[in-house]
Amino acid sequence: MYLQHFGLKEFPFKLTPDTSFYYATHSYQAALNTLLVAIGSGEGFIKITGEVGTGKTLLCRKLLKSLGDGFKTAFIPNPYLDPNALLMSLATELGLTLPQRLTHHELLEALTHRLMQFAREEKQVVVCLDEVQAMPIETLEALRLLTNLETEKSKLLQVVIFGQPELEEKLNQPSIRQLRQRISFEYRLDALQWNELSFYLNHRMHVAGYNGWRVFTPASLRLLYQHSAGIPRLVNILAHKALLAAYGRGLREVTVKEMRDALLDTHASVSAQHGWSNFIFKWWLALGIARATLTFSH
């Protein structure tokens, strides 16, 4: 596609959570620092929330790679599990091979022995769970009970939960108020700020192998930010399509025209994720293009 045209080794704006493309925005770095401080102090429950597409999974993977040899980590990406399935998944992540048919008590006992073993080896166990807003209430309660496991000095298990803002509503339900009280650290992940957008795009381009001057014109950046609201996933989608449009025209940079084509091609994605009606979207699109074109012409 456009790799050779721009001198790239790989696609710079792919949607997979590749930590080599991690860019430490203000929000990302503050969230990562919060996680590292909380885990370092041995807190049992930590919560990170953020809108769809703000990079929660990428932050989770960055955290797991940032922890040293003194940690045993586990990652559970699928939260829609019953309590037994959660315990079984956790056991697998911690290297336990167990029979399929065990009672909840037997599963919990096996996990406790495994966690005690890690404690004797002076390893902290950290479990990260993604998309927790989809986790059933009874499974959240089972998760809370796991964090009760402790020695005289420390917790046997630390849990980091990642979820969309709807997670707040779920945690406010009276039936799991004890879990809410256990959350000692939390952070709300924000979108990219305007002054971070250009650096974010350039960083991903250079990680992908680009060695040239800036690709996105200032006017195209304004248009991109207006219609992505700084949401990294939407930024990536639109930047990828704009590069495709530039390649199709034999250009080495993305102008307003290419960004406009990307926006029109991504109408459904942008309007759906931001809850705009077709009328509002088209109105903002026309206004944004007019402003960006005027700025670019000057």
Mean pLDDT, consecutive 10-residue stretches, the chain (298 aa), reads: 93 94 95 93 88 94 92 91 91 87 87 92 93 92 83 84 93 87 91 96 96 94 94 95 96 95 75 45 50 50
Q: In what order do the strands lie in the sheet with 183-189?
A: 71-76, 124-129, 158-163, 45-50, 183-189
Tell me the backbone φ, ψ of residue 275, rounded to 5 degrees: 70, 25
**First-to-final CA distance of the chain:** 32
187 by DSSP, 3-state: which?
strand
Domain ranges in the chain?
3-16+194-297, 26-189
Half-sphere exposure of 265 (CA within 13 A, CB side): 16
Superfamily of domain 26-189 in the CATH hierarchy: P-loop containing nucleotide triphosphate hydrolases (3.40.50.300)
Give 39-92 pLDDT, tens digit per residue. 988 877 899 999 999 999 999 999 999 998 899 999 999 888 999 999 999 999
The per-residue pLDDT for range 162-194, each reduced to its tens digit, is: 999 999 988 988 888 888 888 889 999 999 999
